[in-house]
Chains A and B, each alone.
Chain A
């Protein structure tokens, strides 16, 4: 199994959380995994990107045109990071406007939950249920249960399941 994924967003939207959950899911499957993350000043609301490489890779970066999955927490970033996607990649975007990708207005759904910060988990649930990820929603849910601090678990699980349900 080999898969290269990008998670694109703005600092503070939870791209790092998704990166980490995906990597833990790969570990749970017994697959080697390497990721790269954006830290430092860009985390203050600037454009950020994380990469997840599942399989026998050595380097943490994905070349242009090689990502098979893209999770976009902000639709503006499609123009910035879209060049990493392979033709035919599975692309999931947090927005209401349809386009040549699968979209879900996770931001509004998160606000309805009263927890705007969980839009990332809603989008993850949606992507996992739509298919195209190297792992299924059941595994990701187990990873969320195992890796989330107790204070956030309930709201994160609720968000993830909401995303899964939205894919049906």
Chain B
């Protein structure tokens, strides 16, 4: 388990997610399923790439959501084959139903559940800790400190999973997923295991009469795993200069603490444990901490999972408020904690950056910008529930009022309608927005519910023909599999009709007038006696797709002398290629950032933006 920086095997520079993808292929998994989400997205793409490179026969899929991914993966494991399922931490919320029951019923072929946490958080709705989820489910969890450990732990997790017939979680964090490191690469273990499903209704259909016994078996497994010597914490022993004290850490907080202690000349001066399996904690280790130390400092992200299991010892950590209760444990946060715990003179903290960070924005030419602009201009007093994806950036245009979790925008639109309508109040225009991939993920049941419950609102499905935010994974409508092979496309319009929607229009939002006209028509339908949910599919491909960008006409944009400096295009259209020249008080277009989509011509109230067709180069 000890990870040294020296290794004779050939090395590759790999991102943590790539390292786990390679680990999945090397360990002989025959199926990998996932739904994209930062910071986990690159794992499945790497499985595809490494399987191709090594000729390993792996079925890799972008499932429609994490629950589905988990269930597909579980069945592969039930036939005795090694399996991986990966997702971001809030994806595990979606997959929680099959995940919790899988702990009771167990698995056959090794099943690794990778749930990537996002302390900070950098790109998530919460900074929840998947290790707590593992503890709640009574599933062991491994916590890697680096890309190379993450890869090694994929193999260990699968072996542990097979030994105990239990799913095993691997919990990397953003700083492991998106770190790059030199990683040793080994041979691929081609597991020659045919798929054999053995029927066992008492287990695979377990009715309540069986579950108490299955729960007993689960408890027994966890107890035995807490005694597994291969997963006991690793000690870097001190020299007695800090008697009665020790530091316990896991995940990337361990790596940062290692670097800090090394820099402070304290490595090898104080007992320092790396916990590789935060749940279940090794039983002997818990005993040793309780009897061997007066003060124990626990450094972990993001919730006090180990600290709570160590309640018998004199522990300090996030729960005791010795360590900040929220946020990432960066080296700068950890340094102060270590200085206090080891009673060292404090180094004056460095002043953090004073400058204003640039906020993210929809790309120049993004079809979502046109759609949001039209929605907000058409319904200045509307309520705009939205969802998760690039289009959450519609916030910047005042066209996104809520962003909760995958699919929630549609259900919230229905809830807003009932809130106003049931009280007999005038219902404001309600326009929900959702991306194509998110619609497939969790929007369909919400739409069925909205129609059936007779809500009245407009749903705009922003169809850019990809899952853009997470790196352009194909959606079911695109009809390409994760490996880039043709699949069977499922069309959004067909789904919308099948959900019982009676008003459906499709439009390219680049034509602002036409799009706005359709929105008004949709609003009239909602308010008509037979009205209900109106759906508008706003189609414009993501222009980060080179081919899509080259396929559309491009213009040279020019701001004329008629510009009054009114800022409408800057504040309400928010194109990153436009800014105000403070000397002339007129708008200027940055020719490098502008992609020449020409939509802003329709936005300027003074008619001061001109588009000239580009000479073909």
Q: Which residues of A pack against B, CB within 8 Å?
A: 10-12, 19-20, 23-24, 26-27, 32-47, 56-65, 74, 76-83, 107, 111, 116
Contacts of A43 on B, CB cut-off 8 Å? 360
* With known contacts A27-B182, A36-B179, A62-B331, A41–B469 Cβ distance under 8 A: yes
Contacts of B354 on A, CB cut-off 8 Å? 79-80
Cross-chain contact of B331 among A34, A61, A82, A116 (Cβ < 8 A): A61
Q: Is the CB of A58 within 8 A of B469?
A: no
Q: Is the CB of B361 within 8 A of A59?
A: no
How close is B179's CB to chain A, nearest CB, in angstroms?
4
* With known contacts A39-B38, A39-B178, A81–B353 Cβ distance under 8 A: yes
The distance in angstroms between the C-alpha atoms of A10 and B15, with both chains bound, is 21
How close is B53's CB to chain A, nearest CB, in angstroms?
16
* With known contacts A34-B179, A39-B123, A64-B350, A45–B146 Cβ distance under 8 A: no
* 19 A–B contacts from the bound complex (CB under 8 Å): A34-B147, A34-B179, A35-B179, A35-B181, A38-B178, A39-B39, A40-B38, A42-B122, A46-B357, A46-B361, A58-B146, A58-B258, A61-B175, A62-B331, A63-B350, A64-B349, A79-B353, A80-B353, A80-B355
Closest to B471 in A: A39
Closest to B258 in A: A58
Closest to B274 in A: A58
Contacts of B145 on A, CB cut-off 8 Å? 58-59
Q: Is the CB of B592 within 8 A of A45?
A: no
Q: Is the CB of A83 within 8 A of B360?
A: no
* With known contacts A57-B259, A83-B353, A27–B146 Cβ distance under 8 A: no
B583 within 8 A of A: no
* With known contacts A58-B145, A63-B260, A82-B353, A47–B180 Cβ distance under 8 A: no
How close is B207's CB to chain A, nearest CB, in angstroms?
43
A26, A44, A76, A82, most chain B CB atoms within 10 A: A44
The distance in angstroms between the C-alpha atoms of A14 and B349, with both chains bound, is 31
* With known contacts A33-B181, A40-B38, A111–B592 Cβ distance under 8 A: yes
Contacts of B179 on A, CB cut-off 8 Å? 34-37, 60
The distance in angstroms between the C-alpha atoms of A120 and B292, with both chains bound, is 54
4 shortest A-B CB distances, which residue pairs?
A79-B355, A40-B123, A46-B360, A64-B350
* With known contacts A33-B13, A37-B178, A63-B332, A44–B350 Cβ distance under 8 A: no
Q: Is the CB of A20 within 8 A of B363?
A: no
Q: Is the CB of B178 within 8 A of A47?
A: no
B456 within 8 A of A: no
The distance in angstroms between the C-alpha atoms of A81 and B356, with both chains bound, is 10
Number of interface residues of B (CB under 8 A): 54
- Chain B positions 30 through 44: 1 when the CB is less than 8 Å from some CB of chain A, otherwise 0: 000000001101000
- Chain B positions 319 through 360: 1 when the CB is less than 8 Å from some CB of chain A, otherwise 0: 000000000001110010000000000000111111111111
How close is B2's CB to chain A, nearest CB, in angstroms?
12
B563 within 8 A of A: no
Q: Is the CB of A64 within 8 A of B390?
A: no
Contacts of A58 on B, CB cut-off 8 Å? 145-146, 254-256, 258-259
How close is B614's CB to chain A, nearest CB, in angstroms?
14
Closest to B468 in A: A44
Chain A interface helix/strand/loop/mixed: mixed
Closest to A4 in B: B259
B41, B254, B331, B355, most chain A CB atoms within 10 A: B355
Q: Which residues of B pack against A, CB within 8 Å?
A: 5, 11, 13, 15, 38-39, 41, 122-123, 145-147, 174-175, 178-182, 252, 254-260, 263, 330-332, 335, 349-363, 390, 392-393, 469-470, 576, 592
The distance in angstroms between the C-alpha atoms of A40 and B147, with both chains bound, is 19
The distance in angstroms between the C-alpha atoms of A58 and B11, with both chains bound, is 17
Closest to B42 in A: A39
Contacts of B174 on A, CB cut-off 8 Å? 39
Contacts of B254 on A, CB cut-off 8 Å? 58
Contacts of A10 on B, CB cut-off 8 Å? 358
* With known contacts A41-B123, A64-B332, A64-B350, A23–B259 Cβ distance under 8 A: no
Q: Is the CB of A34 within 8 A of B256?
A: no
* With known contacts A44-B390, A45-B360, A83–B351 Cβ distance under 8 A: yes
Contacts of B182 on A, CB cut-off 8 Å? 26-27, 32-33
Closest to A58 in B: B255
How close is A91's CB to chain B, nearest CB, in angstroms?
14
Contacts of A64 on B, CB cut-off 8 Å? 332, 349-350, 352
How close is B438's CB to chain A, nearest CB, in angstroms?
14
Closest to A79 in B: B355
Contacts of A33 on B, CB cut-off 8 Å? 13, 180-182
Q: Is the CB of B331 within 8 A of A63?
A: yes
How close is A44's CB to chain B, nearest CB, in angstroms?
4
Contacts of B260 on A, CB cut-off 8 Å? 63
Q: Is the CB of A37 within 8 A of B352?
A: no
Contacts of B358 on A, CB cut-off 8 Å? 10, 45-47, 74, 76
Q: Is the CB of A34 within 8 A of B181?
A: yes
Closest to A52 in B: B180
How close is A52's CB to chain B, nearest CB, in angstroms?
9
Q: Is the CB of A40 within 8 A of B122?
A: yes
Cross-chain contact of B13 among A27, A46, A107, A111 (Cβ < 8 A): A27
How close is A55's CB to chain B, nearest CB, in angstroms?
9
The distance in angstroms between the C-alpha atoms of A32 and B592, with both chains bound, is 37
How close is A24's CB to chain B, nearest CB, in angstroms?
6
The distance in angstroms between the C-alpha atoms of A19 and B178, with both chains bound, is 12
Q: Is the CB of B357 within 8 A of A47?
A: yes
How close is B37's CB to chain A, nearest CB, in angstroms?
9
Q: Is the CB of B256 within 8 A of A61?
A: yes
Contacts of B362 on A, CB cut-off 8 Å? 44
How close is A36's CB to chain B, nearest CB, in angstroms?
5
Contacts of A82 on B, CB cut-off 8 Å? 353, 355
Closest to B360 in A: A46
How close is A119's CB to chain B, nearest CB, in angstroms?
9
Contacts of B5 on A, CB cut-off 8 Å? 32, 56
Cross-chain contact of B361 among A27, A45, A83 (Cβ < 8 A): A45
The distance in angstroms between the C-alpha atoms of A19 and B258, with both chains bound, is 23
Contacts of A47 on B, CB cut-off 8 Å? 357-358
The distance in angstroms between the C-alpha atoms of A77 and B38, with both chains bound, is 24
The distance in angstroms between the C-alpha atoms of A99 and B470, with both chains bound, is 38
Q: Is the CB of B576 within 8 A of A45?
A: yes
The distance in angstroms between the C-alpha atoms of A36 and B361, with both chains bound, is 22
The distance in angstroms between the C-alpha atoms of A36 and B358, with both chains bound, is 20
Contacts of B259 on A, CB cut-off 8 Å? 57-59
The distance in angstroms between the C-alpha atoms of A41 and B353, with both chains bound, is 21
How close is A70's CB to chain B, nearest CB, in angstroms?
12
Q: Is the CB of A34 within 8 A of B180?
A: yes
How close is A90's CB to chain B, nearest CB, in angstroms?
19
Q: Is the CB of B252 within 8 A of A60?
A: yes
A58, A79, A83, most chain B CB atoms within 10 A: A58
Q: Is the CB of B355 within 8 A of A78?
A: yes
